[in-house]
Amino acid sequence: MASDEDGLVLEGLRAGDERAFVHLISLYQSSMMRVARTYVSSHATAEDVVQETLLAVLEGVDRFEGRASLKTWMFRILTNRAKTAGRREHRCRPDPFQAMRELDGRSVPADRFLSTCEDVQWSGHWKHEVRSWECPADDGVLGAEAVGVIFAAIRRLPTMQRLVVGLRDGENWSADEVCGLLELSESNQRVLLHRARATVRQHLESYYSDEQSPNRDSTPRSEHSSV
């Protein structure tokens, strides 16, 4: 259902008020670019998708019935156009069972947990305490590298997991908004989000383990000679 703010923006768009359109762009253009890049391989193609979406919103605003929020309606247009662009790039093929396949399997390897043979009382709990990843406040380089690890891990996630974690953790969408956009049940959305976060966490664990390894080369990367 459209909110009061949606109503004001819609009123402006339908009246041809340029300020309403500029406001819409300022709110969502960056998010639209990030979502579009989930489906297409280049920044230029994502820009085209966003521009096509904004034009479609202007052309279709009089037909908007308010059954969903303006944001959800607009992002549905975006994802449909991004999927089409992705198929043209031979990167994204229509697959109605993709989300279900991403729900299969374990998000964390079974050997990370205690078995009944190892400890009956604590079976199913972590074998080792999950360590904190807090970095010293002055360790800016380490923090920046860790952020790079996170983004690299997210880019390698399956499409639906990448979308869910990007919208929830990157764009601060609510679970209901993500379910509405991607047509997922609440439980499936939760599982996809959990699997995505668990995968990213594994990459971070590996990164910090390497950082603490006594055999790690301590020479700053900038001081290594180029090959």
Q: How far is CA 144 from the centre of its chain?
A: 19
Per-residue pLDDT, 220: 46
Domain membership of residue 225 (yes or no) is no
More confident residue, 22 or 214: 22
Q: By C-alpha distance, which of 203, 200, 213, 163 is closest to 184?
A: 163
Q: By C-alpha distance, which of 46, 50, 95 is closest to 77?
A: 50
Domain boundary among 45, 68, 88: 88
Per-residue pLDDT, 227: 34
Q: Say if residue 125's pLDDT is above 60.
A: no
**CATH number of the domain where residue 187 is located:** 1.10.10.10
Q: Say if residue 168's pLDDT is above 80.
A: yes
The pTM for the full model equals 0.64
Q: Say if residue 90's pLDDT is above 50.
A: yes
Rounded to whole angstroms, how far apart are CA atoms 147 and 140?
11
pLDDT tens-place string over residues 49-76: 999 999 999 999 999 988 888 999 999 9
Q: Same domain for 114 and 74? A: no
Crossing angle between the packed helical segments 140-155 and 186-212, to the nearest 10 degrees: 140
Which single residue is written with the structure tokens 């690299």? Answer: 152
Per-residue pLDDT, 175: 95
Rounded to whole angstroms, how far apart are CA atoms 17 and 30?
22
Q: What is the mean pLDDT of the chain?
A: 78
* Residue 199, domain extent: 99-215
Q: Same domain for 206 and 133? A: yes
Q: Same domain for 194 and 122? A: yes
Domain membership of residue 226 (yes or no) is no
Q: Say if residue 110's pLDDT is above 90.
A: no
| Identity of residue 119 | D
Domain membership of residue 141 (yes or no) is yes
